[in-house]
Structures are given as C-alpha cells and as structure tokens.
C-alpha cells in the first residue's frame, strides 16, 4: 500500500479503490506477477472455459480472503499456512459441486483443474500477503480485484486462441466457410506461444516510457 498509517483508520474510498484496481491492472496476477500459470495455460482453449475458470477462481479468492481476514487474529503463526490451505480447499470443494450443478459440459471441460484451484499460488499468495494483514472489507475487495484480473487475463488468452484456432468467439463463428482454422493454437503449444506473446506485449508496453526517456537523453547528449 502507498500510505502507511500509525494506527488503524477506517479505510477510505480511495484506499478501497486502490485495493480493487491493484489486482485488476497494476499487479495483474498473470501478466505482471506471472502466477497461476497452470490453469492459465490449460483451460484457455476457448473463451467459455476461460471465463468459467476465471469466475470460479474469483469466487474462491473472495470467500477465502474474507474468511482468512476474519480469523487472522485467532490463528497462531505456526499453523497459519495449513489453516489457509484447509479454508481454500473447503471453498474449492463448494465450487466443484456448484459448477457440476450449473453446467455439466463446463464441468467436463475444466475437469481436474477445478480441484486444482487449491494449489493456485495466487490464492495462497493473497492470503499470506494481504488477507492475513488487512481488515475484512479491503481483503474482500483485494480478492475481487485479483480474481477479476485473473479472469481478464484468461479471457485475453482464450480469445486469441479461440479466434485463431477455431475461428469463433464464445462459440459464434466470425469468418466465412473458407476459414482454415490454425489448430495448433487449440493444442498445448498454442497456449505457451500465446501467453509468451501477451507477456511480450505487456513488457514492451511497460518499457515504453523508459525507452522514450533514453532516446531523449541521447538526442540531448
């Protein structure tokens, strides 16, 4: 956080917004922190799967961040990681049954990766780095921001892979009958290459102001 207070003040709106947008953009879990790679690569062969995974992870993040923040003063330091994992695993079990009840095709497409949300390092990371130190409201917003940032990144990947690999977006065909799908993008190598391309775009975009400053210095010199 940018501001450090001597005592615990009620969180202002600006601080709450900061906690929320931090995860969505500045500290995006996938593009900036490069966390949670396994689901990012595994379930993004279509926009529908990517969105479902993003929302499921958001649900677990918000719930676990809230509960962990509530009990943060009750849990002894030595057993905190084990407690966090048990809390997270409980919410993942809930999500597992929830998705099974809502949509069987999505449940089958995501497969074991729903259960694997437990070991998604974003969730344990936020529990340890944020929820265990901050009040309930801010922790909830942090979870929501991080979760939506994760869902946004997954949709970016899923969009590229579905458009190139199947010529459709959310199952709607975009091109005519003559479209030759680039099937490689639906297969595992496509996941690695698409994510590499997004990371390149992000890092060159972030390096831009620095380059401009360097170029100006060169002209001045």
Partner 1 sequence: MNQASLSSIFLDSLLINNFVLSVFLGICPFIGVSGKFATAWRMGVSVIFVITVSSVLAYASNLLLVFLHAEYLRIIMFIVIIASTVQLLEMFIKKTSPVLFRALGIYLPLITTNCAVLGVALFQTAREYSFAQSVVFAVGASAGFALALVIMSVIRERLELSDVPGVARGTALVLMLAGILSMAFMGFAGMGGGA
Q: How far is the CB of 193 from partner 1 (least distance, A)?
A: 4
Q: Candidates 11, 71, 85, 186: give the one binding partner 1 (CB under 8 A).
A: 85
- Residues contacting partner 1: total by CB under 8 A: 40
Should residue 96 be labelled a site residue for partner 1 when binding is judged by CB under 8 A?
A: yes
Whether 198 and 156 have beta carbons less than 8 Å apart is answered as yes
Q: Candidates 16, 83, 90, 103: give the one binding partner 1 (CB under 8 A).
A: 90
Which of the ranges 55-63, 132-140, 162-170, 196-204 carries the binding residues for partner 1, by CB under 8 A? Answer: 196-204
Tell me which residue has tokens 């969105």. Answer: 51
Should residue 32 be labelled a site residue for partner 1 when binding is judged by CB under 8 A?
A: no
Whether 95 and 117 have beta carbons less than 8 Å apart is answered as yes
Should residue 1 be labelled a site residue for partner 1 when binding is judged by CB under 8 A?
A: no
Compute the distance between CA of residue 79 and CA of residue 84 in angstroms, rounded to an integer.
9
Tell me the chain's radius of gyration from C-alpha atoms.
Answer: 20
Q: ∠ at Cα 188 (187, 193), nearest 5°?
A: 105
* Closest listed residue to residue 53, CA positions, set 163, 192, 33, 61: 61
Whether 140 and 65 have beta carbons less than 8 Å apart is answered as yes
What's the token pair of residue 23?
């995860």
Should residue 41 be labelled a site residue for partner 1 when binding is judged by CB under 8 A?
A: yes
Q: How far is the CB of 110 from partner 1 (least distance, A)?
A: 12
* Closest listed residue to residue 150, CA positions, set 51, 66, 68, 64: 51
Which of the ranges 48-56, 72-80, 86-94, 161-169 carries the binding residues for partner 1, by CB under 8 A? Answer: 86-94
Should residue 54 be labelled a site residue for partner 1 when binding is judged by CB under 8 A?
A: no
Should residue 199 be labelled a site residue for partner 1 when binding is judged by CB under 8 A?
A: yes
Should residue 75 be labelled a site residue for partner 1 when binding is judged by CB under 8 A?
A: no
- Give the containing element (helix H, strand E) for 172: strand 172-173
State which residue, 21 or 96, has the beta carbon closest to partner 1.
96
Which positions lie near partner 1, rule CB under 8 A?
34-35, 37-39, 41-42, 82, 85-86, 89-90, 92-93, 96-97, 111-112, 115-116, 118-121, 124, 184, 187-193, 195-196, 199-200, 203-204, 207
């Amino acid at each position: 956080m940018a501001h450090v207070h001597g005592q615990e003040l009620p969180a202002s709106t600006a601080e709450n917004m900061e906690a929320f947008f931090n995860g969505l953009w500045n500290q995006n879990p996938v593009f900036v922190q490069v966390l949670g790679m396994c689901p990012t690569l595994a379930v993004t062969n279509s926009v529908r799967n990517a969105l479902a995974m993003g929302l499921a992870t958001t649900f677990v993040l918000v719930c676990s961040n809230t509960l962990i923040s509530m009990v943060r003063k009750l849990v002894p330091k030595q057993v905190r990681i084990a407690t966090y994992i048990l809390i997270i695993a409980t919410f993942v079990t809930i999500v597992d049954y929830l998705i099974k009840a809502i949509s069987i095709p999505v449940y089958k497409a995501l497969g074991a990766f729903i259960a694997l949300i437990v070991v998604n390092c974003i969730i344990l990371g936020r529990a340890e780095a944020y929820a265990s130190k901050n009040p309930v409201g801010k922790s909830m917003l942090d979870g929501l921001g991080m979760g939506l940032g994760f869902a946004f990144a997954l949709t970016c990947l899923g969009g590229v892979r579905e458009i190139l690999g199947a010529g459709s977006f959310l199952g709607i065909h975009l091109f005519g009958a003559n479209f030759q799908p680039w099937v490689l993008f639906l297969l595992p190598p496509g996941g690695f290459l698409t994510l590499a391309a997004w990371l390149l775009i992000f890092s060159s975009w972030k390096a831009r102001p620095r380059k401009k400053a360097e170029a100006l210095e060169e002209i001045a010199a």
